[in-house]
Structure 1
Amino acid sequence: MLVTSATGAVVLSEPYTGVDVVDGKVAPTRTSAAMVSETYGRLLAMQPARPRVHIVYFEFGQSVPTPESQARLPRILAEVSALSAGEAVVIGHADRVGRAEANEQLSWQRANAIRELLVGAGLAREAITVFGRGEREPAVVTADNVPEPRNRRVELKLR
């Protein structure tokens, strides 16, 4: 980050650096994790927890998880069951094989399949947000009609 004034500029490129502006002049400053915790600890404690992200991969052209992902689902669903007042974001994706419209629909089907598993594990339906991205946000960029298993996925963000 670059902080500028009429009399100079300071580049902030390291943790716990900042600037003081006195009489229009910028001067670099340093702080520490302990000082940030002391000053802003209560505010930082109020932040929501970072989401835990799980990727579930799917069979070609289907809303059925791959065997590898199916093997991981019990652990993921146990984590969901342990959430006290959790929320989830479920984002379905598809590769670029086939028509874009069909891939859009398939991405929604995949996301909804995972949503139903989450509801079955005890997460309230209204705590789950579902999106279908079709082929628009690939994990691996490919040409059209190139199969890519890593793009046939659902991203599950739990908080």
Structure 2
Amino acid sequence: MRRACTSLTVLTGQTGHAPARRTGACRLALTTVAAVSVALLASGCASVSDRVVLLPQPDGRPSAVEVKAGAQRLLLAQPYAAVELRGQALQPVSIDPLVVRQRYGDLLATQPPRPQRFVVRFESNGNRLTPESGPVLDEVRKALAGLQAPEVVVTGHTDRVGTLDANDRLSVVRAEAVREILVAAGLAREAITVIGRGEREPEVPTEDEVAEPRNRRVEIKLR
């Protein structure tokens, strides 16, 4: 009897695609991204040629993945929701978390460590950190000390007070301020990527011109 093959694509970014990992003759793909689209291709195996399982985000944030096969589309939006490609048809299936760990534990163990995420916050209309951000930066320095060749992404954000262009510039200024703190702590400047997202990705959605302090932040991701 031919063994049915299974496929799961390991995607670790917020959007986009990543190559599948190979396990013997079968592909396995697991995803924990916030919103991606995965196109399944028949692999010539027996009854089940591909399977996608949505894993929970480590920090509990919601995630979703859209699976496409030809004209079919299915959205997975709950942890451990799954879909299989049988022939040319997508079929939603139920899968137990314990089964995922038992069946794919070896593959999951080969994934690179997840980025460590820290958030520091800012006073209104500038790049002055709040007093509460000091202990967070201490945690970042400790985490960096445990990494041999760290890569850091620093992303600045603003609230919705002011124009879109002004907030874009302010978010970069805030991210650059955090970069300088990390450089002063001994991190190589070239290891830091600075991004400004302005008011486009609020932690707390608000109406325009609302000064929401939780949105005035810089997110630091260490890998």
- Report TM bin, short chain: 0.7 to 0.9
User: 1:150 aligns to what?
Assistant: 214
Secondary structure of 2:139's match?
helix
User: 1:53 aligns to what?
Assistant: 117
TM-score by length of 1: 0.77
User: 1:23 aligns to what?
Assistant: none
Give aligned-pair identity as a percent.
49
Residues 77 and 7 of structure 1, relative CA distance in 2, 3 Å threshold: closer
Q: CA RMSD in A?
A: 2.4
- Count of matched residue positions in the alignment of Structure 1 and Structure 2: 142
* Contact in 2 for aligned 1:87/1:123 (Cα 8 Å): no
- After superposition, what is the alpha-carbon deviation per residue over 1:39-94, rounded to whole angstroms, capped at 9, x for unaligned? xx3x5444221011101010101111101112332222222233211111111000
Residues 117 and 8 of structure 1, relative CA distance in 2, 3 Å threshold: closer
User: 1:83 aligns to what?
Assistant: 147
Structure ranking higher in helix proportion: 1
**Unaligned regions of 5+ residues in structure 1, if any?**
18-30
Secondary structure of 2:132's match?
helix
Q: In 2, distance between residues paired with 1:7 and 1:84?
A: 46
Deviates more, 1:64-73 or 1:43-52: 43-52
User: 1:13 aligns to what?
Assistant: 94
User: 1:36 aligns to what?
Assistant: 104
* Contact in 2 for aligned 1:107/1:132 (Cα 8 Å): yes
* Contact in 2 for aligned 1:81/1:123 (Cα 8 Å): no
**Unaligned regions of 5+ residues in structure 2, if any?**
1-81
TM-score by length of 2: 0.57
Residues 91 and 12 of structure 1, relative CA distance in 2, 3 Å threshold: same
Q: In 1, distance between residues paired with 2:88 and 2:181?
A: 59
User: 1:96 aligns to what?
Assistant: 160
Residues 156 and 13 of structure 1, relative CA distance in 2, 3 Å threshold: farther
Larger Rg: 1
- After superposition, what is the alpha-carbon deviation per residue over 1:9-47, rounded to whole angstroms, capped at 9, x for unaligned? 643332469xxxxxxxxxxxxx5634433xxx3x54442
